[in-house]
């Protein structure tokens, strides 16, 4: 699939649920209202859609949420997609998780063909972790991370950089990740959804973070890439990689190879734009066959925009995009 700007679309992020067992302050409001079950695609419908994308050239699928592992029987979907890994199918199946369910599922993920995962961890301080997640217990996430490592999964830690919140922890997190063999990616906070917080107070440019880190660590250029939006450097002192996802200070639109499918079957061609395609209606129309489904997907890709329009502005007291990250897929 080639979009209007000549970019090959080979990466699909799939949100399997909007639900989560945490309420991270940059992602959700504390009193979230979740979608009714009738609006959510079944696991079989998600599998069929993923199959259509694979048939059109998607090589990498990342399962997200909400928290993907809280969805009942989600491992059926993981196993089914894992069977599609091969020369004429997927090159990679990955997962983004908050880690709370990994003690239960890490071995099953590896057995299904998953080889690396991203785990959201914004602080190593138990009290701060609890405040950021509103009710999470860091021990549960850490136990999950080490269960994943023991199962043979490569673990990358994702941390959202927040001014005055966790910016004093990045040196500690780099050292901790180096000790345990984890890569680390820092992410700029993004203006998606009402969260009962002022994002102008949260926003921390990663250009500032990178400059500070160079005072302690030797950051070396690398051409390593995973197919996602992070730009990586290698930390000489630890040997691990440090990624930066910078949708605000330096967007990555020119090389975007991704689209996002929500748990309702809505396809967003751009994280930072509202234009979307309703694939649920197509999927549930008995008159539409597999060829019709592929045509609907290709028509959506033909509308993929050149880039996003994220801005965090104190004068505009509303998010740039109204939907929550948990709905779109983290």
- Under 8 Å between Cβ of 261 and 12: yes
Tell me whether residue 94 is annotated as binding: no
* Residue 13 annotated in ligand binding: yes
Please tell me whether 155 is known to bind a ligand. Answer: no
Model pLDDT for residues 52-89, shown as the tens digit of each residue: 999 999 999 999 999 999 999 999 999 999 999 999 89
CA nearest neighbour of 101 among 125, 136, 76: 136
Q: Known binder of ligand: residue 24?
A: yes
DSSP 203-254: B--HHHHHHHHTTTS-EEE-----SSS-EEEEETTT--EEEEE-TTTS--GG
Q: Which domains does the chain have, with CATH numbers?
A: 11-328 (3.20.20.70)
96 assigned ligand-binding residue: yes
Q: Which residue has the tokens 């897929």?
A: 329
Of the listed ranges 25-39, 47-61, 248-262, 313-327, the least confidently predicted one is: 313-327
Q: What six digits make up the tokens of 147?
A: 């269960």
Average pLDDT over residues 133-150: 96
Q: Which helix (H) or strand (E) holds 7?
A: none
Residue 232 assigned as binding residue: no
**Mean pLDDT across the chain:** 89
Measured CA to CA in angstroms, residue 195 lies from 56, 122, 199, 203, 329 at distances of 36, 17, 9, 14, 16
177 is in an annotated binding site: no
Give whole-number Cα distances, 57 to 61, 119, 157, 258, 328, in Å.
11, 27, 28, 12, 22
For the stretch 236-263, what's the b/e string if a residue is b when 16 or more beta carbons lie within 10 angstroms of its beta carbon?
eebebbbbbbbbbeeebbeebbbbbbbb
97 among annotated binding-site residues: no
Residue 26 labelled as part of a binding site: yes
211 in a known ligand binding site: no
- How many Å apart are CA 29 and CA 193, to the nearest integer? 9
Nearest CA among 320, 307, 68 for reference residue 189 = 320
C-alpha 185: how far from chain center: 12
Tens digit of pLDDT for each residue in 36-45? Answer: 888 999 999 9
Residue 253 marked ligand-binding:
yes
Does the annotation flag 318 for ligand binding?
no
- Residue 258 annotated as binding? yes
* Whole-number pLDDT of residue 323: 46
Nearest-Å Rg of the Cα atoms of the chain is 19
- pLDDT in the model for residue 201: 72
φ, ψ of residue 203 in degrees (nearest 5): -65, 125
pLDDT tens for residues 209-265? 999 999 999 999 999 988 778 899 999 999 999 999 987 655 567 778 889 999 999
Q: Considering the entire predicted model, what is its pTM?
A: 0.88
pLDDT at residue number 330 = 55
Number of alpha helices (DSSP H) and beta strands (DSSP E) in the chain: 11, 12
């Amino acid at each position: 699939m080639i979009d209007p700007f000549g970019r090959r679309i080979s990466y699909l992020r799939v949100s399997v649920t909007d639900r989560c067992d945490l309420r991270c302050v940059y992602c959700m409001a504390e009193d979230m209202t979740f979608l009714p079950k009738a609006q959510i695609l079944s696991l079989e419908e998600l599998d069929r859609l993923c199959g259509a994308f694979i048939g059109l050239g998607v090589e990498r699928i990342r399962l997200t949420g909400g928290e993907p592992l809280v969805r009942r029987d989600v491992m059926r979907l993981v196993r089914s997609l894992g069977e599609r890994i091969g020369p004429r199918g997927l090159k990679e199946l990955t997962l983004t998780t908050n880690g709370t369910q990994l003690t239960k599922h890490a071995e099953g993920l590896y057995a299904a063909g998953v080889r690396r995962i991203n785990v959201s961890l914004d602080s190593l301080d138990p009290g701060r972790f609890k405040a950021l997640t509103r009710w999470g217990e860091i021990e549960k996430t850490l136990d999950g991370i080490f269960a994943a490592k023991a199962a043979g999964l490569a673990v990358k830690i994702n941390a959202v950089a927040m001014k005055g919140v966790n910016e004093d922890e990045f040196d500690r997190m780099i050292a901790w990740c180096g000790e345990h063999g984890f890569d680390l990616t820092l992410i700029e906070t993004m203006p998606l959804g009402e969260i009962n917080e002022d994002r102008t107070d949260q926003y921390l440019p990663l250009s500032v973070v990178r400059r500070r880190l160079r005072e302690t660590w030797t950051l070396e250029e690398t051409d390593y890439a995973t197919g996602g939006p992070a730009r990586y450097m290698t930390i000489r002192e630890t040997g691990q990689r440090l990624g930066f996802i910078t949708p605000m200070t330096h967007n990555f639109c020119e090389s975007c190879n991704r689209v996002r499918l929500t748990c309702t079957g809505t396809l967003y061609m751009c994280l930072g734009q509202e234009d979307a395609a309703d694939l649920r209606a197509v999927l549930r129309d008995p008159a539409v066959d597999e060829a019709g489904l592929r045509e609907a997907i290709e028509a959506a890709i033909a509308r993929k925009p050149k880039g996003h329009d994220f801005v965090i502005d104190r004068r505009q007291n509303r998010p740039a995009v109204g939907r929550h990250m948990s709905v779109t897929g983290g």
